[in-house]
Every structure is written in C-alpha cells, then in structure tokens.
Structure 1
Amino acid sequence: MAIDSRGRVYVADGQTASVIVLSPSLAYDRMIGKRGEGPGEFQNVWSLQILPDDSLLVYDATVDRITVFAPGDSSHAAYTQDFRTTGISFSNMQRLPGRGDYVGRTSRAYYADGRNEDSLRVDVLRHLSWNDEVAMADSLFSFPSNEALVRRRGNSRGQAVSVAGHPFGRRSFTDVLDGDRVVYATSLALEITVVNVRDRIQKAFEYDTAPLPVTRQELRAAERRLRNFAGVLREGAPYTWPPITGMFVDNNERIWVGIRKIDRAILEWAAFDSTGEHWASVRLPSGFRPYAIRDDRIIGAGRDDLGVPYIQIYRLDSAAMNTIQLRPTDADGLVK
C-alpha cells in the first residue's frame, strides 16, 4: 500500500494480480495492470513504492521485475527492469530516490529435507547497480530472517514442508531513507541501524522497551488461527511479545516505529529523525496496521469484528501528537 502527493492510495490486490487506485477519500478510481507476463502485467504484486516525482513502482516477486508507471492517471507502463539476469531471487525491491540504483532483500528457501537448517537463517540486503547494462548485486548487510513455524512430514510419496509466519517470532524490517541510505530494524528491540550503499553501517539510535509476556489466551487464539502448526507453536512456549511491530520511513525521512504497550488495545507509533531525536508519537488501534505516512495522513488496513478487511486513513493532529513522552521513569514507555 502506498500514497502519493495528491493523496491517492495504491493497494496491491493479490486476487487479481493488479494495483487498485483509490481517491483521497478512498473511493474507487481505477485498476492498474492485470494477470500476465507482458508489459504492465503481473504475476504477484509484492510491493509498491511512490517515487519522488509521484511515479508508481511495482515489484513482481514471481518474475523478479519492477514496472514503473508515470505520474498522473496513466495505466501504461513507462518502463520495466528485469532482475533475473542477476541469478538471484529477491523477496523485496526498492529504488533509491534520485538514483537509478535499487536495494533488494534476499531470503533462503525452506527445504523438505531440512538442509541448511543447522544455523541461524539470515537475509541479505543487496545494492543493485548497472555496469554496461549488466546488473551488479553487491551484498550490503546481513540480518536475521523473519522467524517462521516450520512443519515437515513424510510419507510413501516423499517429504514435504509447510511454513507459516510465527505470531510471536522475530521479524526484520528495512526501508529506504534517502538516495544513499537504508534503515534496518528488528522486532526484538527499538534499535535502528542505518546502512549506506557505500558500505558504511552505523547504529543510529536505540531505546529500551518493556517486555510483554504472551498470555495463555493469546497463545490459544494463535493456535486456533494456525491449527496446522498448533503443535509446533506449543513446543516453543512460553513466549514474550517482540516489542516492535513494524518500521517504515515517511516522505519527510522520519523513521516510524510501532511499539507494543501494556494496553493491548493500542500501539504507540513513534517518529524519529535519523539521529534518534524523537519527533512525535501517536496512539493507534492495535488491529490497525499502518503502511505509509505522507505529511499528515496515515494510511493502513485492518479487520472489523467480523473479519472483513478495511482500509482507513487517519489524519495526524498536531494537538494530539507528542502526548507520549519518552521519560526514563515511564516503565511502559521508552528510556533513552
């Protein structure tokens, strides 16, 4: 999901392999693309990015290709870039603003026979540039992969593996900060690392967070949602919630971090500059997941009481911000 400078919202639709465009009031506008492998067509719309000129970048993970659509109301592809020549499959791809380069994230596959499972799984952030029209994919930074529930089984026909996201497991987040830098965060701590494409890595800032144990009710609810993995999930209990729920960068280069609170009904979303200076915090419902913030608009999605998905926009109110202070004495907040 993404939002451009005119307030239009772009939503990846997995069912139709297309991008749905909504007006600033969230009314249906049009659809971009369709299922296929030709220009402007997609197999799997994996991620969206609004470029500085309001062009829309769409990454198709199935065919390792980005398609860029010109700003305005055009639904015709301006150009495409194929990454299959690198020989590497990427789970995410973003363009560095103001440059023709990209950063991509690679992950290791799971195998039924359990090969390569004897060590910590890591993802790799790669810098992609072109030399005489040949794509170069240099490794920038390695970090722990998202934790998963893995279930292997065998029968007379062979072995099989099933994988699901771990509801209480570690996650890693990356987002582009500017033309030269990428931000990395882990769900295990409020700790921000900035990676420069010129191979410089620095820890930008960190804050302490309060641990929150997973309750029996929360564990049982997760077991019901993941019935096929309930046994695997129980084996690892008891759990502690990762304190960080997400991270992304807004159009003003502020780093937003989602922080769990003792009150399970809300999340704190705190904004920092790249030096760690706290700019603002807002409280949002825990069932609402923000995907992007542009100026004073927060765009995200959630599910209602009946499980029906919805898209919603919150407007940042300056009077409501900075109400959550970072005080060393606040056990439920952050400690510098």
Structure 2
Amino acid sequence: MRHRELSRFLALVVALTTPLVAPLHAQSFSARTATLVWQVDGAESGEPFGDLRDFVLLPNGHVWALDFKDQVIRRFDDAGRSLPTVGRKGSGPGELRNANGLAVAPDGTVWANDPANSRFTIRSGSGAYQRALTVPISGYGYRWGAWFDRSGELVELAIAREAKYRRITQAGAVAGSLEYPACPSGAAPPLVFRAETPGEGATTGSYPFTTGGGVVADRRGHFWCAAARGTRVARLAYGKRDTLARTAIEFPALTVSAAEREETIRQVETRLAKYSTSTFDRSKVPTTRSGIAALFVDLDGRLWVAHTRAESATSSAFTVFDERGAVLFRVTFPARVNSNLPLLARGDDVIVAATDADDVVSLRKYRIR
C-alpha cells in the first residue's frame, strides 16, 4: 500500500524551466572504490535473516537490524561482531508483534514502530527496554522509513488518504504534519493497472519500467525528490515548492531490450490470468526505464543516487552529491545493493544490504577509498 501511495503523489508535477545539462555518460567523475570491511547475514546471532526489513546505525557505530519474520532486533558492534538480540514476538513490554522499522533519536535511543501493538517501543543504545508510547496508527506499509529531524521530532509517512507526513513529539503527541512534496521534474506519472474477479479479489500495480526516482529527507528541513521517470533530482524545503538546488547532471532513461520487455510482459500477464478482468494493456509498456533507481541521504547530508541496473548485474553504482547538487564522486559496490532498504554512510564508511547469487541477504560494511 505504501509504495502505491508514494507513486501516486510523485505524479504531482510542477513544470519548471531549467537550463540543459550534459547527460550522465558525458560527465567526468572522481571514481572511488568500495572495499569490504565486514559482512553478516544474521546467522551469527542465531538463524540467518528471515526478512530483513530495516537497519540503523547508532552513534557508537553499532548496527541494529530488524528481522521482520522473527520480530527480533539483531545487533552488531562496529567490527561486525554479534551482540545479544533484543525483542521477540508478543505484546508484552519490549515485545514486538508487527514491527516494520527503526529510527534513532537524537538522544541515541532506538525507536521501533509496532503498528499491530499501536505503539513505539523505545530502547537505550545498550539494548535495554525503556518505555513504550501508544500512538494512533494511520496505516501500515512495507517499511516504516521514519526519521528524527533537527527539531528532535519524529516524522513518519501517514499511510492514509492524505499526502502527508505526520510529526510526533518524543512524548508521543501528534504535533502536526508536512505535505508530501511534488517533484519539479516534468516527468509523466507512472501508469497503473487493475485486475479483478468480482467477489473474489483484486490487485493493482504499476506498469513495468514506469517507476523510479523517489523522495528522501535530508533531516535538515529539506527533501530531495525525483518523479518516477525524472532525469534529475531536486532539493525542496519542507512544505514549499521552491526548488533550492538540482543535481548538476541528468540520469537519462535507459533502453529496455525487446527480449526483456516481452519476457516482463509475459510474467505480468501470467500473474493476471487468474483474474476475470484486467486493464493491463501490453502496448502501454514503455521501451525505456528510469535511470534513477532510488535516493538516499547519508548521515553527513550527502545525496546518494542509485543507478538503475540490469537484473543480471552483480554490482551497484551510485553518484554522490553535496547539498547544492554538485557531484562529489561516483562509487561502484561489488554487490547487488538492495535499494528498498537503507544506505547508511558516515565519512568513508558505508553500510548497505546486499544479495548474493543465491539470494542470501547480508549486511555489509564498506570503506570508500
């Protein structure tokens, strides 16, 4: 549900006149290499990750990873060594029932979102249970993705009809909201189809190759955003549509091969065959895809733009920008980085979730040289 809501509101477009810039392939980059420091897959603290849903980096360098399947938080020190897990399934103090995200508060405490229990569970940086805050739950998405901004308030996407983020004080009170940003890229919105068997069930989805871009907060009062098929990323102030900065380069659309397009269409049509009606139209599937796979802002305020990669690719490339949109460097990781999970970077150290050839998910710490 959350991803559909995000795509819907990314379609709100503000037309701007901007000077032309050279495409990505025409730019010169300061290329950097990523060297693996450590790698963990959860087995160090019991079973391997069943469903890695979120992870956070604490001020002391420790990493906490939320395993959705077991509803436990697996912890690792700054060298990747396993620490005792915290949390378990349940509704008692410190227990989790449907937790889907973590956030680190300015005081170093870690908040776990637990919508099934209608609360946030808060632990100290040492892992000790501190308290729970009962909050009204507006909906449920795949991953929470909340953050604490410079005011010290928690900001989370309200999974509801309104395009808003809601602000929550550290006492648990709803303190207002932020409008979801409209990205000034001028790109066409993603196409959506629906299939249904009356009285039995229905499904909706975006057409293949029509998604991309994203929205990410820099925690300093701004959003970086790119529409679903945009070629540049814009920086906006919370609640305003003025463009404060744009990335200095474009990320042009990539051509989809005829074979890949046909195979993808076949897969969609196979999934929809069980429904009696469908609005899916194969002629609407484009022959290009967005060059922007996802956006991240690291703990130093830098913007990381993930390049779209082929399904068979075994590496992942990122271009990194400062807060003005100027290029800092480009780096390629020798791994398939999961762009649906966080990228956490501070200085030259970067922590990502990656998938190997056997689809085993692990947390990996790299050092950028």
Structure 2, unpaired ranges of 5+: 1-54, 184-188
Q: Does the 8 Å CA contact 1:44/1:60 hold for their aligned counterparts?
A: yes
Cα offset, 1:213, TM superposition: 1.7
Of 39, 59, 62, the match for 2:113: 59
> What TM-score, normalized by structure 1, do the two folds share?
0.72
Matched residue SS, 2:299: coil
2:197 match: 154
2:240 match: 200
Q: 1:10 to 1:131 in 2, by over 3 A?
A: closer
Q: 1:219 to 1:314 in 2, by over 3 A?
A: farther
- Counterpart Cα distance in 2 of 1:25 and 1:225: 42
Cα offset, 1:18, TM superposition: 2.1
Q: Structure 1 residues 2-11 or 178-187, which shifts more?
A: 178-187
Kindly tell me the number of residue pairs found equivalent between the two proteins. 295
1:70 match: 124
2:291 match: 243
1:89 partnered with 2:136: no
Q: 1:70 to 1:63 in 2, by over 3 A?
A: same
Within-5 A mapping of 1:320-335: none
- Counterpart Cα distance in 2 of 1:171 and 1:97: 25
- Counterpart Cα distance in 2 of 1:220 and 1:214: 10
Q: Which has the higher contact order (CA 8 A, sep 6+)?
A: 2
Root-mean-square deviation (Å):
3.6
Q: Deviations over 1:124-183 (max 9, x none)?
A: 232424699752443423548x9686553225xx14123567653324633332353343
1:124 partnered with 2:178: no
Cα offset, 1:276, TM superposition: 1.1
Of 99, 104, 116, the match for 1:50: 104
Within-5 A mapping of 1:157-196: 158-163=199-204, 168-171=209-212, 173-189=214-230, 190-196=232-238
Q: Does the 8 Å CA contact 1:45/1:60 hold for their aligned counterparts?
A: yes
Q: Structure 1 residues 24-33 or 88-97, which shifts more?
A: 88-97
- Counterpart Cα distance in 1 of 2:194 and 2:281: 10
Cα offset, 1:234, TM superposition: 4.3
Q: 1:129 to 1:218 in 2, by over 3 A?
A: same
User: Comparing both structures, which one devotes a greater share of its residues to strand?
Assistant: 1
Within-5 A mapping of 1:9-24: 9-24=63-78
The aligned amino acid for 2:97 is: Q
1:103 partnered with 2:145: no
2:60 match: 6
Within-5 A mapping of 1:215-230: 215-219=257-261, 222=264, 227-229=270-272
- Counterpart Cα distance in 2 of 1:187 and 1:257: 14
- Counterpart Cα distance in 1 of 2:81 and 2:267: 32
The aligned amino acid for 2:138 is: I
The aligned amino acid for 1:293 is: A
2:254 match: 212
- Counterpart Cα distance in 1 of 2:72 and 2:316: 31
Q: Structure 1 residues 257-266 or 244-253, which shifts more?
A: 257-266
Cα offset, 1:304, TM superposition: 2.0
